[in-house]
Every structure is written in C-alpha cells, then in structure tokens.
Amino acid sequence: MNDYEFFAFDADGTLAPQPFEVFTYPMGDVTVRAHSIDNRAGLQVLWIHTPAPDWTVVFNWATLVQSFDHRVLVMPYLPSARGDKDTPSPARTNATLAAMSGITDIVTIDPHSPVWLDCLRSANPAVDCWQLDLAAVVRDATSDSDYRGVIAPDTGATARAAHVAAALGLPVAVAAKKRDPATGRILGYAAPEAVREQPGRYLVVDDICDGGATFALLATSLDDSAELDLWVTHGGFTKGPDELLRRYRTVHTTDSLRSAIAAGTQCPDSRLRIHSLRGPITTTLAHIADTESHTR
C-alpha cells in the first residue's frame, strides 16, 4: 500500500482515484505532480496511511487543488499523537503543520488525546475536524461476540473504553498500571477486581498498540479468570502480533496504518482481524460534501 492515496469524491458518493504522483527528485526531495485533475468532483481527498507523513506532500497537493472548496486530509492516525506531553511536543508540531498546509477538513478516528486537534483548531480555526464514531466501528466489528464487559487497560483509556462499553450496553472495568516516568518502563500492574469476580469473555479497548507489552501484562495478570479479545484502533505491532495472539482469543484493529495491513497479510491466523475504515470514511466525506457550513 502506498503511504499516500489521492481521490476525488464524486457526487454519486464514489471515491475515484486521482492520477497524482508523489515524485522524488534525484537528490531525494519530493513533490506532488498532477497528470490530470477531475474538475467535476467537489471534494479532493488525500488519504495518508503512514504514521510519519512528509508534510511537503500535503502542502504541494493542497496547492494543486486549491481551487476546490474542500481539500480533505484523511488521516485516521494522527502522527506523533503520543508526543502530546513532550517538550518539544511533536504532536503540536504535526498539528500546526496540518493547520497551515492548506487543507479545509481533516478526518480521523480515536485520537490519543484532545491535544492534537485542539492545537490544529487553535492554529487554524477554519479547518473542520471530523472524527469517525469509534463506538459504532467497534460495535459493527464485534457484533458476533457475547461479552460480559469492556476493560480499559489503564486509566488513560477509561473514557475511550467507557464510550465503547456504553454503545455495547456493557459495564466497564479499569486496570491499574504504574510506569517509571523517566524510562517508560512498567513498574507494576493490577487487573480489575470486578473481572476476577465475574469470569467470562471481555473486550479490552485502547487506541494504540506498539509493542503490546501493556496488553500482554493485562492478560497475564488475569491468568485464566477471563477470556479476552483485544481492540486497538491503530495497530503498530512493532514486535508483531504473535505474542498478543498467544494471550488473546481475537485481536481487532483497523486499517488506519499500513503496519496493521502488513500484519494481517503476513499473519495467516484468522484471529487477527483488520477492519476497513473505507465505509465510515466515505460516509463522512458525503456529510462534508452535503454540508456547506460545518460544526466541529
């Protein structure tokens, strides 16, 4: 899969590929070239699949399509989202670059925290921010499962897990994790007592999986008192999904990142399920096309 895909969104609701090219010069710098542009479409769309986009691509694409009313950046995973508390903050840097790039709209799902989009709005209030409904995506993806409850793997995931649990009509339980702030190393972990007291099948919900250490610790801390499925919206899988699949009955993620798609291709285990965001994103693009004045 390419890191960048270019589309025109037609009046009939079709995402039509655009013949744009990310061109690399001999010395390695890049630009975007348009072999032609579909002037009939009201929306121009750049869909990014990499966690480390080259903002030169975004700026140059936005220049090529600047005559269109909507220049929509589809970025399901917000780059450097976890750097929201760092100094300097790469989350704020990426958000500011997005705000200044010439886009009119951004479509994303399950941001790590409010910092990224808040910074974008502050830098350029004219950009409209559209978030896919995470709970609806999870509900559709796990509709064949009979869960007793939803587990947040740490306190930072509580609001996200509670939102999903409410959509599924289930209770939420929160595990406790302690990290060394200097190294990020996990010093201790405590599974929810409510889960120990009520064995059954549970869905663990969080936004990002990189190496998966937190999720492995949670599964270990519960021993055999619960049958676990895992939902991570953005599957980095930097150490591969095998360890998670040894501890979880099913691992769910979206195709927000090419790493998740690659894991699904390389791992023959059907218990790793990659759920496409194309449907919800297309629906959101239709809303953008139909709405002349948006509200965030």
CB 190 within 8 A of CB 176: yes
Residue 277's closest CA among 12, 15, 29?
15
What does the domain layout of the chain look like in residue ranges? 4-132+279-290, 134-276
Q: How far is CA 108 from CA 74, 77, 102, 227, in A?
A: 6, 6, 17, 31
Residue 278 CB neighbours (<10 A) = 11
271 CB-side CA count, 13 A: 14
| 90-100 vs 55-64: helix crossing angle, rounded to 10 | 10
pLDDT value at residue 221: 87
Tell whether the torsion through CA atoms of 79, 85, 87 and 92 is positive or negative.
Answer: positive
Secondary structure of the chain in HEC code, one letter for each residue: CCCEEEEEECCCCCEEECCEEEEECCCCCEEEEECCCCCCCCEEEEEECCCCCCHHHHHHHHHHCCCCCEEEEECCCCCCHHHHCCCCCHHHHHHHHHHHCCCCEEEECCCCCCHHHHHHHHHCCCCEEEECCHHHHHHHHCCCCCCCEEEECCHHHHHHHHHHHHHHCCCEEECEEEECCCCCCEEEEECCHHHHHCCEEEEEEEEEECCCHHHHHHHHHHCCCEEEEEEEEEECCCCCCHHHHHHCCEEEEECCCHHHHHHHHHCCCCCEEEECCHHHHHHHHHHHHHCCCCCC
The low-confidence residues of the chain, meaning pLDDT below 50, are 293-296
pTM score above 0.75: yes
Q: What is the CATH number of domain 4-132+279-290?
A: 3.40.50.2020
**Does 4-132+279-290 match 134-276 in CATH topology?**
yes
pLDDT value at residue 185: 74
CB 104 within 8 A of CB 126: yes
Give the span between the Cα atoms of 261 and 255, in whole angstroms: 6
pLDDT value at residue 112: 94
pLDDT value at residue 29: 94
Q: Is 134-276 assigned to CATH 3.40.50.2020?
A: yes
* Amino acid in position 220: T
* Amino acid in position 239: K
Residues in contact with 114: Cβ distance below 8 Å, sequence separation at least 6, in sequence order: none
